[in-house]
């Protein structure tokens, strides 16, 4: 057993350990594997579950964080491939939120046999607007975001959590997300935010060859609906589901919607409407 992999990513294997099919969960920026608490419970009886924290997040060992390695999402994708090879996974189903959606796609290109299907929730190949592309942010938007993180990280986290989580009638959700953001080392959080928001993996989409389910919520400040439609057009054979949820974290705010969409995908694939 490679203990470095377990420590670096706080790797956990749960659920039905004798199940033939394995679900691998990847979390987004500002959260950790606990973000999947409600969703994973629905699959624990029938599937082996693999959960981990991206390096620098959650209970992952911060000593393993290398700014040079993780200045691109390819660094995290390499970690994911290493995790799956350590567990000898083949034909697993990957469920990734936000940046981990792209991390999963990159890993699937690096090691095609590891995954058989993918679920991407609120994923984006590029956050910056471009010619004939709406990513949701301008250069000025991102400069302002990074500056706010540098000036007063705790205040930024509090404000960002509210607009990202939405669901104003349930303030506990944004409070919990704010606490998760505030638990991160500010320097690592800023590095990761820059890596994510300045990334551009549009060219990778055409190389994806496995079935992909795209899940998009309403009022997502980080990923507008136009991005989901872009992914749907450029990932061959993908299926887009718009769920009855708002904000960037539907797996937290509306887990039943995610469970329903994922269950249908697992049982029938993406070729059936």
List the catalytic residues: 98, 220, 248
Distance between CA 77 and CA 107 in Å, rounded? 5
Distance between CA 142 and CA 228 in Å, rounded? 20
Contacts 24+ apart (CB under 8 A), 182-186: 182/153, 182/154, 182/157, 182/158, 184/30, 184/56, 184/57, 185/56, 185/62, 186/149, 186/153
Pairing relationship of beta strands 22-26 and 92-97 according to DSSP bridges: parallel
Half-sphere exposure of 38 toward its Cβ, with a 13 Å CA cutoff?
A: 13
Q: Which tokens in the block code for residue 195?
A: 């890596």
Distance between CA 1 and CA 54 in Å, rounded? 19
List, in sequence order, every beta strand (DSSP E) within the chain.
12-15, 22-26, 48-51, 92-97, 115-121, 212-218, 239-246
Do 270 and 212 contact (CB within 8 A), yes or no?
yes
> What are the backbone dihedrals phi and psi of residue 36, each rounded to the nearest 5 degrees, phi first?
-95, 10
Distance between CA 84 and CA 24 in Å, rounded? 9
Distance between CA 170 and CA 46 in Å, rounded? 31
């Amino acid at each position: 057993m490679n203990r470095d992999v377990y420590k670096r990513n706080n790797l956990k294997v749960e659920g039905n350990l004798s199940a033939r099919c394995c679900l691998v969960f990847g979390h987004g920026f500002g959260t950790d594997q606990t973000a999947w608490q409600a969703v994973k419970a629905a699959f624990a009886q029938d599937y082996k579950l693999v959960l981990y924290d991206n390096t620098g997040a959650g209970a992952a060992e911060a000593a393993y964080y290398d700014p040079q390695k993780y200045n691109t999402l390819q660094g995290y994708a390499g970690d994911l491939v290493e995790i799956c090879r350590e567990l000898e996974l083949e034909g697993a189903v990957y469920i990734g939120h936000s940046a981990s959606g792209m991390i999963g796609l990159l890993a699937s290109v690096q090691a095609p046999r590891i995954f058989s299907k993918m679920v991407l929730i609120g994923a984006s190949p590029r956050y910056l607007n471009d010619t004939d592309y709406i990513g949701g942010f301008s250069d000025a938007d991102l400069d302002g975001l990074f500056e706010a993180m540098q000036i007063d990280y705790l205040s930024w986290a509090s404000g960002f959590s509210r607009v990202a989580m939405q669901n104003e009638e349930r303030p506990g959700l944004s409070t919990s997300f704010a606490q998760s953001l505030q638990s991160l080392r500010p320097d690592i959080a800023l590095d990761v935010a820059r890596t994510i928001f300045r990334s551009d993996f549009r060219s990778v989409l055409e190389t994806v060859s496995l079935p992909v389910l795209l899940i998009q919520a309403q009022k997502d400040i980080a990923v507008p609906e136009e991005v989901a439609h872009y992914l749907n057009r450029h990932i061959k054979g993908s299926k887009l589901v718009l769920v009855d949820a708002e904000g960037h974290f539907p797996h937290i705010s509306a887990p039943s919607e995610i469970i329903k969409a994922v269950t249908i995908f697992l049982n029938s694939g993406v070729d059936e409407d």
